[in-house]
Amino acid sequence: LSNDKSNKFWRIVWRNEQFDVCYGRIGSRGQSNSKTFYDEETARRAAETTVRQKLAKGYRHVVEENRPN
């Protein structure tokens, strides 16, 4: 999200029963949080809902391929 008031990033990585989010100001390392769910389907639905909410706030969808850890 980059506009007159904000210059932030937000990233989600979903795998199996968990997803990890990283967020913060562009140019910083940011902060990370993990969420673990009962099963993979619940985690997938929660991740999709979270992505929809961020897109509604003005974040843009960017796919990073082969991103180093």
pLDDT at 3 over 80: no
What's the whole-model pTM score? 0.71
Integer CA distances (angstroms), 49 to 2, 44, 46, 66, 68, in order: 21, 9, 5, 24, 26
Q: Tens digit of pLDDT for each residue in 7-64? A: 888 888 888 999 999 988 888 888 999 999 999 999 999 999 988 998 888 887 777 6
Q: Where residue 5 falls among pLDDT bands split at 50, 70, 90?
A: low
* Selected residue with higher pLDDT from 56 and 68: 56
pLDDT at 67 over 60: no
